[in-house]
Amino acid sequence: MTVNAAAILSAVVQGVLVGGLYALFASGLSYMFGVMRLVNLAHGAFAVLAAYATLILAQTAFVGIPDPGPVLIGLLGVVPVIAILGYLLQRYVLQLTLSESPLPSLLVTFGLAIIIENVLLLTQNATPKKLSLGRAVETASIDLGFTQIGVFPLAVLVLAIVLLGGLSLVMARTQFGRLVRAVSDDPATVGLTGANPRHIYGIAAAIAFGLVAIAGIASGVQTNFSPASGGTLLIFAFEAVIIGGLGSLWGTFIGGVILGVVQSVGAAVLTKNYEILVGHIVFLLFLIFLPNGIIRRRVRL
């Protein structure tokens, strides 16, 4: 086995691209934890749900539209619906589970994940599916000399940066952002400003669910998915969040990129079989030696 510098560099570049997708996945999880201290174990399941919803729309409602039309139109329809679902779920279900103990929300979101997975199994069967943007888009690439980068993964990375950058700006500059930070500091006092803390939580959940829907659809284009894919997606998201630092958006982005690079370099240096394992090992090393992550959380616990 020979590994040269070009192969490593190529692996790093590919890893950064995959990292963009992981970051997109992890940001919703990180955001909900940062705002309402809620770990959403159904995060991966909602990503898969979004991918299936887009697939069904693309294969039924938008047949005949040339690629990549069906998936893109599906995305525009599915993301807002999942975001609204996130608002309603937070406001009328998850809100009831918020307490000093993290256990009720863990149990309820775990239950939701199981329900979603099984409903998909019953209605869609277990065969792996994929979303198609058409050959032209999926095979388009840019030649960097030492490696080729896919246009679609690059677009996902750029989208992740734009979405996280936008969310950061909203958090820093707007009244909504101030209220989200305020509710994260002291939920019991926010009512005294005239803002309804439950509504703020709901909007934050809508943002998180919208992000995970986008991530789920993007992932469905890049790789196969099946009703049970949510668990793997959740683990990657968790690892990115922990590596980056709980509750910090840019930390989560960095965490996603690190996870992607580590997996990709691991696969290049060892073999493809080690890709996932190397990622898990690096995550464990972070958990042991840097449990607060790279960027210590800005929001206080």
Partner 1 sequence: MLEVDDIDVYYGQLPAVRDVSLRLDDGGILAVIGANGAGKSTLLGAIAGQVPVREGRVLLDGRDITRLPAHRRTRLGIALVPEGRRLFKSLTVEENLLTARASKRSGPWTLDAIYEMLPLVGERRNRRAGDLSGGEQQATAIARALVTNPKVLLLDEVSLGLAPAVIAQLYSFIPAIREQGTSILLVEQDVQQATRASRDVHCLLQGRTSLAGADLDLADITRAYFGA
Q: Nearer to partner 1 by C-beta: 125 or 193? A: 193
Taking CA atoms, 96 is separated from 29, 90, 189, in Å, by 19, 9, 18
| Residue 148, strand partner residues | 143
Nearer to partner 1, 191 or 231 (CB): 191
Q: Which is nearer to partner 1, 9 or 182 (CB)?
A: 182
Rank residues 172 and 277 by Cβ distance to partner 1 and give the closer one: 172
Sign of CA dihedral 284, 286, 288, 289: positive
What are the start-end ranges of the E strands in the chain? 141-143, 148-150
Please report how close the Cβ of residue 293 comes to partner 1 at its closest, in angstroms.
Answer: 18
The minimum distance between CB 252 and partner 1, in angstroms, equals 18
Neighbours of 255 (CB within 10 A): 32
Binding site for partner 1 (CB under 8 A): 175, 178-179, 181-182, 184-186, 188-197, 298-300
Separation between Cα atoms, residue 47 and residue 216, nearest integer Å: 4
**3-state DSSP assignment of residue 67:** coil
Query: What's the DSSP call for residue 225?
Result: B
Residue 276: CB atoms within 10 A of its CB come to 15
Please identify, using beta-carbon distances, which residue of 122 and 301 lies nearer to partner 1.
301
CA of residue 241 relative to chain centroid, distance: 10
Task: Report in angstroms how near the CB of residue 238 gets to partner 1 at its nearest.
Answer: 25
Report CA torsion sign: 89, 91, 93, 95.
Answer: positive
- State how far the Cα of 242 lies from the Cα of 33, in Å rounded to an integer: 11
Rounded-to-integer distance, Cα 25 and Cα 229, Å = 13
User: Smallest distance, Å, CB 183 to partner 1?
Assistant: 9
Residue 161 CB, shortest distance to partner 1, in Å, is 25
Alpha-carbon span 86 to 209, nearest angstrom: 5
- The least CB distance from residue 197 to partner 1, in Å, is 7
Q: Output 25 or 33, the one with its CB closest to partner 1.
A: 33
Judged by beta carbon, residue 153 or residue 197, the one nearer partner 1 is 197
Task: Look at residues 156, 158, 152, 165 and name the one whose alpha carbon lies nearest to residue 252.
Answer: 165
CA distance 78 to 274: 35
| For partner 1, the closer CB: 30 or 54 | 30
In whole angstroms, how close is the CB of 130 to partner 1 at the nearest point?
A: 43
Question: Cβ 181 to partner 1, closest distance in Å?
Answer: 6
